[in-house]
Structure 1
């Protein structure tokens, strides 16, 4: 059983009469990657700023449990760096401020985020992905056991996204660091996160683990013919009782290995099969089913 490292109790932030985040109750387990999902303006950054101590809640509270109460590492928006200095120099300055400077310590942080080979190269010439990894290293200064990253893959190319994803997995799997990360690129978040929280209009509407997401999503067969009512009868005659009409198409949540048999039976019965395939329900599909509409890109 994993211990909880952070909880919030009715955490709320108001700006005048506007509630940016209201009565948020989040539970993050030690050693996991927690993905915070929501449209732009949904309240993700507001929550992260409060948890990181960068903004005071209007009401409610949060608690970092156990021996990890010494602080939270933060990367919100672009990392604040000196473009005319190297990655080592930027980290050295941060570590001196944190009271934890040694050359070996800084070299260790650079190794953790895959920037050991940058030498004296100035940060101003770094790719966006390299800058984000340097930002993660800066968040790690002082050895926090929880780091908070707001949209760390926003604007990155596929290579940069893969590098940041691998860095987060390394922090979790090799360093035992808990990561809270927000992103609107749900496909990527779905690859790396162990638990999720969905924020909509300043409210936390659901929390679930990756295992629970898999059970709620999974796969199903989509069928569409020129006569779906008759197709339903034929499909059920095959012993498939869970076929249902969903909108203008037929959905079958089990018997995923019987696609060929279903197709053959429908064609034999004289139906024109316009569509038959296995559909994957993604994190994005599930998110949209809960919130409606399209998320902002």
Structure 2
């Protein structure tokens, strides 16, 4: 009987999102494929440094420790060549990351393998791959490799923060705001306060985290936050939507347009997801952050 990833949270991640390959990537971006491969081969026995999404992956895999069956599967899905993939696996082993599966496509887009992997989340430094994944219905974010690393203050707690519109929720309300301004947006949301928002691309990820929190009773836990530019009275529809989904978040920040970075610095997430690049830039100075290229702001 073949192996299966059913009933697991499957996270696909590129090698640059997981490890710091920025020096090597300069050769790759210059189009010198052979020199890049040669450099990676020379460094096979040199573990790569942790990248922006390293803490997220490390803690997700922590939910498998002591479990009767794996709860989370992390797969490397990379434009790297197979030889460079050897260094990725060796680096993962060095840090105790139990990553056993990988797909390496040597320069071509790997997103098409998300479907057979049944991946619910894809993290990559390549914007085109992220957009392709989102277009295929998979939650995806572009990791900014030069961003901050996660705090080590919460070793047994996975902390993730989400924006609302175009991330957890659809961009229905954001479209109103962009077309008609703040007053029209507020009126639209007050009128529809009791009507749940349609789901955004990251609703399945929040659901999967909710299941991990509910079903897993050991040293690892989950803490989630909604960090949104919404303010009262538009906050109510967002909260009622989560209530309708029967999903709880631990913290909610309705910031009314304030910069999100300093608030996220205090929450200390392992990762933050937002659809607006300005918010991601504000966040990345303090915490790991990824750009979700969905919704009207990213057309």
**TM-score, structure 1 as length reference:** 0.27
Higher strand share: 1
Q: Which has the larger radius of gyration?
A: 1
**TM-score, structure 2 as length reference:** 0.27
